[in-house]
Amino acid sequence: MATRYLGLTLMLTISILMLGIYAQFECGGNLSEFVIQCRRYVEKEGPKTQPSKACCDALKGADFSCYCKYLTSSVEDTISIEKALYVARTCQVKNIPTDKCGSYTIPPPARKV
């Protein structure tokens, strides 16, 4: 179990860092802290869970739409974009896209009846 967890952590870290330092400068937030603090909330496996305060703090000042422009297929293979959007909304990150994030098409909000 520990080996699997370490492997997932390593793959997620490498994939997120592939976004590059330029994306962090352009898009704000703290990418390395995001990897550390938010990893478990955006992994493909497992349920969608409320992010921690530390995760939200790592996203302060981040422009989520900007990060979506830099998503690569390897990052998309590693994280759940749906969960990442949930984390961004829960943490009240600015500029959350409403149409696409990388190659992921964001579904329209459910209509209230």
| CATH no. of 2-101 | 1.10.110.10
Residue-level pLDDT at 90: 95
pLDDT, tens digit, 9 for 90 and up, residues 57-113? 999 888 889 888 888 888 888 889 999 999 999 999 988 999 999 999 998 877 766
* Whether residue 9 has pLDDT greater than 60: no
- The pTM assigned to this predicted structure is 0.75
So where are the chain's domains?
Answer: 2-101
Instruction: Give 6-14's long-range contacts (Cβ < 8 A, gap of 24+).
Output: 8/43, 8/45, 9/39, 11/78, 12/39, 12/42, 12/43, 12/78, 12/79, 13/39
Residue-level pLDDT at 111: 73
Residue-level pLDDT at 24: 57
